[in-house]
Amino acid sequence: MVKFERFQLSNGLKVIFHKDTSTPMAVVNVLYDIGARDESEEKTGFAHLFEHLMFGGSVNIPDFDTELQKAGGENNAFTSNDITNYYDVLPANNLDTALWLESDRMLSLAFTEKSLEVQRSVVIEEFKQRYLNQPYGDVWLQLRPLAYKKHPYKWATIGKEISHIENATMEDVREFFKKYYCPSNAILCIAGNFELDFIKERVNYWFSDIASGKKPARIIASEPKQLEFRELELERNVPASAFYYAFKMAERKHPDYYIADILSDSLSREKSSLLYLKLKKEKPFVSEIVAYITGSIDEGLFIISGKLNDGISFEDFDNALWEVLNEVCLNPIEEKELNSLKIKMQTARAFQEQGILNRSMNLCYFELLGDANGINEEHLIYEQISCDHIQSYANELFQKTNCSLLKIKAQQA
Amino acid sequence: MIKRKNAPSLKAIEKINFISPVKIQLGEHTPFFWMKEVPNETARLDFIFHAGTTRGSNLISSLVAGLLFSGTDKKTSTDIHNELDDLGAFFDVGLGHESVLVSFYALKKNILAVFKIFEDALEHVNFPQNEINELITDRKQKLKINSEKVGFLAQREFQKNLFHGTNYARQTELEDYDTVRREEIIEYFSKNYKNGLRKVVLVGALEEVQVTEIAEKSKKWCLHEKPLFENNFNNNKGIFQLKKKDAVQSAVRIGKTLFNKNHPDFLGFSILNTILGDYFGSRLMKNIREDKGYTYGISSTEAELAKSGYFMIGTEVGSAQKDLAIQEIKNEIELLQKDLVPDEELELVRNYLLGQLLKSADGPYAMTDLFLSVDAYELDFSFYESYIQKVKNIDAEELRALAVKYLAWDSMTIVIAG
């Protein structure tokens, strides 16, 4: 049970306080309700570029990192297709430093041409390091637009192409900040060994004079129902051919989301899933095969991906995979396996909940989804899932017309 | 009016309370450490074997580590994995130069049962040929894929030159896989695992009687002799270039063999290393990322071996900027050798390091790992008391002298892949 208190400032900032008496550290986590899905198609990669700029100095503080490091702390941030999340971890008795820093950059940034120019280069190097200079690195740049035709999940957080980042102007950046970085679009969580009254007083002190801003309306093109099988084959200079089957699945808040999550766990069990037994153990079609979900807030993807063994054709593998998926659709998984999956989830949860940083991030994320208490309720949803639920959802999911297939053909093989 | 221009006043770190795990001696050379103060249901159980890559062939050691759960006469690999799954357990096998670490994560109520599965799997492992073949196929493919990554290529070349002339330098090549024999695997296992247990670590609020059972049953694997490790390394100096066609970035590794926590200069050097490249505000990050934008990230590390250690700077930079980046790295090192670190920067690093130490001691798992990272060098928590004193008292002259003594550019192995 993760206990927490909630309050809201008059400028709209939502605040969660999580008391933990066992730690000498404090966490300040700020979630902004802005992700790559909020970008326009002509200016992709902005949410992420912006995350970099948030460290380039704010209106009263030239260097964010330096001040936090002086206080013995460290910080980082990440951007997804849905959110941008910043966190600071520091000794609890220096909490005020983190509040000072986070409130100042929520108040206003001090953009300079130089910091924009440098961070553009840094992000371009990140683009190269992660997406261009790795075998299979560009897979998600290819798979997203295959699976999504309208919804902005069709581009990756790094952006659709480097030129969008190269062409970002000061004007663009200022506008982006004004629109998305305001108290009414943020959720703050503070965790550590404090009293609620103290937290209320300090948060009020640092954040209450920041202008509320207007929570931006989210107008996102919804993805039309997929009605046809899609396929893209690309040749790449890689040693092994790889496959990515992407099935459209339920959005984050839908009950089916949880069923899909368990189903992906079932198909990914190391050395014992049906995929592994049939496609690797019985007949060595693949060297590796995994199933996972993207976990996005809007309609997500259920992925089955892996690499073919030498000499195996995509066609042979494809037939064998659909046979296995049909089996999954026809025969419910056994009660025993379902229980084992649930115990594994409980164990993973118990480990994740140990750190206050994880708890703080999750509290903010669940609050964004509607209620921070989701952190304590989610396992109840999982517990109610039955073998029949899974079978029935598998039938809905594993339809050829619900699938987009990306094949990376190895030139070296 | 809020005074936003001025930073809130900073408070010093209060005392850090170090808590040592309980020690149970399993054999002359094998301790069992138990951290029992865990305020939740989780537990971790580690087994450290004297079975790292330097104990024999690189490839064989790595295959054995990958086949520890490959099956017995009575159970297949799938059976064993199913049994662990049914207990909600996760496990991880890590292979290093000097040891193999097998870690299990589970709820504390299941740890004893997890141990029994492991005990049976390890005692009776029979290395089925089909499991060996499957692993070899997978590993060959992984090696081919990794060989497409400049970071991987640079790291291998760096290790070869860093440790040249010793077992630590060896790397597995693709053709090595073609000559693997099952007998070698069985022999390596018998030699290095059956009587190769160097340490057991348990974190979790278990019942005493369960802990005793795990300890008693682990005794049969204890090491008979005190393990010996290489301490005489002398890295190849100079520049080593690997060409990789079409690479848009180059991986750079720069470093040399050095020392571990037992060396009197370790503490001072670790502070110098932080200033140079071991935190986000380091000189290398400030210059090469935050000023020039040549890279997404650059860092330096001080890594340790049982009787030695090494220093390494690593980055991936745009191919067109690699020479400029290396020049800037050299400049930053020379600045540390020439000029005194300014008071303000040194003060920041002192505060940062003490804050990070507090974080490293936060919670039973972190505390255990902090303990293990001194126990590995036959030290105890008093090491961190000396560390705190060193962080508080080191001055700029000492840092400059350390930079002169240990960071001479012509003592470095420099690898560029891309």
Select from B4, B107, B248 the Cβ nearest to the Cβ of A350.
Answer: B107
SS3 A17: strand
Nearest CA in chain B to A210: B2
Q: Is A122 in Cβ contact with B293 (below 8 Å)?
A: yes
Using the structure block, give the residue that is written with the tokens 């970085």: A181
Q: Is A125 in Cβ contact with B317 (below 8 Å)?
A: yes
- Residues sharing a CB contact under 8 Å with residue A157, sequence separation 6 or more, in sequence order: A35, A36, A45, A47, A48, A79, A80, A81
- Residues sharing a CB contact under 8 Å with residue A296, sequence separation 6 or more, in sequence order: A80, A81, A82, A153, A251, A252
Select from A271, A309, A353 the Cβ nearest to the Cβ of B78.
Answer: A271
Domain spans, chain A: 5-207, 230-410
d(CA B153, CA A283): 32
B362 touches chain A (CB under 8 A): yes
SS3 A25: strand
∠ Cα A272 A273 A277 (to 5°): 75
∠ Cα B325 B402 B323 (to 5°): 10
Angle between helix axes A95-107 and A196-207 (nearest 10 degrees) is 30
Q: Is B88 in Cβ contact with A347 (below 8 Å)?
A: yes
Q: Is B13 in Cβ contact with A91 (below 8 Å)?
A: yes
- The single-letter code of the amino acid at A39 is E
Closest CA to A73 of A39, A28, A109: A28
B40 touches chain A (CB under 8 A): yes
**Predicted local confidence at residue B64, as pLDDT:** 98
Select from B107, B147, B296 the Cβ nearest to the Cβ of A129.
Answer: B296
Strands of the B30-35 sheet, one edge to the other: B22-27, B30-35, B197-203, B42-49, B100-107, B90-95
- Residues sharing a CB contact under 8 Å with residue A133, sequence separation 6 or more, in sequence order: B149, B150, B247, B248, B249, B316
Using the structure block, give the residue that is written with the tokens 């790559």: A36
Select from A59, A346, A355 the Cβ nearest to the Cβ of B88.
Answer: A346
Select from A22, A75, A89 the Cβ nearest to the Cβ of B39.
Answer: A22
Select from A24, A69, A280 the Cβ nearest to the Cβ of B352.
Answer: A69
- The single-letter code of the amino acid at B237 is K
Closest CA to A139 of A406, A411, A413: A406
A70 touches chain B (CB under 8 A): yes
Q: Is the ipTM reported for this complex over the cut 0.85?
A: yes
B39 touches chain A (CB under 8 A): yes
Q: Which ranges in A224-301 belong to alpha helices (H)?
A: 255-268, 274-276
Nearest CA in chain B to A280: B134
- What is the pTM assigned to this prediction? 0.95
A170 vs B253, higher pLDDT: B253
Phi/psi of residue A2, each to 5°?
Answer: -100, 110
**Predicted local confidence at residue B45, as pLDDT:** 98
Q: Give me the residues of chain A with pLDDT under 50, please.
A: none
The pLDDT tens digits for B161-196 are 999 999 999 999 999 999 999 999 999 999 999 999
Select from B8, B40, B148 the Cβ nearest to the Cβ of A96.
Answer: B8
Can you point out the beta strands (E) in A153-266?
186-192, 230-236, 242-249
Q: Is B293 in Cβ contact with A344 (below 8 Å)?
A: no
The pLDDT tens digits for B289-304 are 999 999 999 999 999 9
Q: What residues in B contact A351, CB-CB < 8 Å?
A: 42, 105
Task: Identify how many contiguous H helices and E strands chain A contains and give both numbers.
Answer: 15, 11
Q: Is B141 in Cβ contact with A209 (below 8 Å)?
A: no
Nearest CA in chain A to B247: A133
Buried b (16+ CB within 10 A) or exposed e, A63-90: bbbbbbbbbbbbbebebbbbbbbbbbbb
d(CA A411, CA B245): 15
Q: Is B134 in Cβ contact with A280 (below 8 Å)?
A: yes
**Confidence bin at B12 (pLDDT 50/70/90):** confident
Kindly state the helix (H) or strand (E) to which residue A170 belongs, with its residue range: helix A170-180
User: Burial, A40: exposed, middle or buried (Cβ in 10 Å; 0-12, 13-18, 19+)?
Assistant: exposed
Q: Is A74 in Cβ contact with B352 (below 8 Å)?
A: yes
The string of DSSP letters for B244-310 reads -TT-SEEEEEEEEE---TTSTTHHHHHHHHHHHHSSTTSHHIIIIIIIT--EEEEEEEEEE-SS-EE
For chain B, how big is the Rg over CA atoms in Å? 24
Which whole number is the average pLDDT over B329-353?
Answer: 97
User: Which residues share a beta bridge with B34?
Assistant: B22, B202
User: Burial, A54: exposed, middle or buried (Cβ in 10 Å; 0-12, 13-18, 19+)?
Assistant: buried
**Predicted local confidence at residue A413, as pLDDT:** 57
Select from B2, B8, B316 the Cβ nearest to the Cβ of A97.
Answer: B8
For chain A, how big is the Rg over CA atoms in Å? 23
Is 70 exceeded by the pLDDT of residue B4? yes
Q: How far is CA A55 from CA A51, A90, A118, B7, B280, in A?
A: 8, 17, 12, 17, 11
Tokens of B280: 């986000």
The string of DSSP letters for A41-107 reads TTSTTHHHHHHHHTTS-BSS-S-HHHHHHHTT-EEEEEE-SS-EEEEEEEEGGGHHHHHHHHHHHHH
Q: Is A284 in Cβ contact with B290 (below 8 Å)?
A: no
Task: Tell me the domains of chain B and their CATH numbers.
Answer: 22-221 (3.30.830.10), 238-417 (3.30.830.10)
Which whole number is the average pLDDT over B356-380?
Answer: 96
Q: Do domains A5-207 and A230-410 have the same CATH topology?
A: yes
Q: Which of the residues B145, B147, B316 would you substitute to probe the A interface, choosing the one with the greatest number of A C-beta atoms within 10 Å?
A: B145
Closest CA to B247 of A135, A413, A239: A135
∠ Cα A372 B37 B106 (to 5°): 65
d(CA B217, CA B138): 33
Select from A72, A126, A350 the Cβ nearest to the Cβ of B351.
Answer: A72
The string of DSSP letters for B131-145 reads HHHHHHHHHHHHHHH
Tokens of B380: 């105890």
Nearest CA in chain A to B83: A340
Q: Which of the residues B3, B4, B132 would you substitute to probe the A interface, choosing the one with the greatest number of A C-beta atoms within 10 Å?
A: B4
Q: Which of the residues A53, A210, A351 would you substitute to probe the B interface, choosing the one with the greatest number of B C-beta atoms within 10 Å?
A: A351
B247 touches chain A (CB under 8 A): yes
Q: What residues in A contact B358, CB-CB < 8 Å?
A: 24-25, 72, 91
∠ Cα B46 A74 A9 (to 5°): 115
A18 touches chain B (CB under 8 A): no
Q: What is the DSSP letter of B362?
A: S
d(CA A132, CA B50): 39
3-state secondary structure A357-409: HHHHHHHHHHHHHCCCCHHHHHHHHHHHCCHHHHHHHHHHHCCHHHEEEEEEE
Select from B41, B107, B296 the Cβ nearest to the Cβ of A122.
Answer: B296
Query: Which CATH code, of 3.30.830.10, 3.20.20.70, 3.30.300.30, 3.30.360.10, is assigned to A5-207?
Result: 3.30.830.10
User: Burial, A369: exposed, middle or buried (Cβ in 10 Å; 0-12, 13-18, 19+)?
Assistant: middle
Q: Is B107 in Cβ contact with A135 (below 8 Å)?
A: no
Q: Is A23 in Cβ contact with B363 (below 8 Å)?
A: yes
Kindly state the helix (H) or strand (E) to which residue B204 belongs, with its residue range: none
Q: How far is CA A309 from CA A232, A304, B48, B383, in A?
A: 20, 16, 33, 50
Q: Is B292 in Cβ contact with A239 (below 8 Å)?
A: no
The pLDDT tens digits for B211-242 are 999 999 999 999 999 999 999 999 999 999 99
Q: How far is CA B269 from CA A315, B110, B381, in A?
A: 58, 43, 19
Mark which residues 74-133 of A lie under 8 Å from B by CB.
74-75, 89-91, 93-94, 96-97, 100, 103-104, 107, 117-126, 128-130, 132-133
CATH of domain A230-410: 3.30.830.10
- CB-CB contact of B247 with B320 (8 Å): no
CB contacts < 8 A (A, B): 201
- CB-CB contact of A45 with A159 (8 Å): yes
* Residues counted in chain B: 418
B295 touches chain A (CB under 8 A): yes
Q: Is A238 in Cβ contact with B145 (below 8 Å)?
A: yes
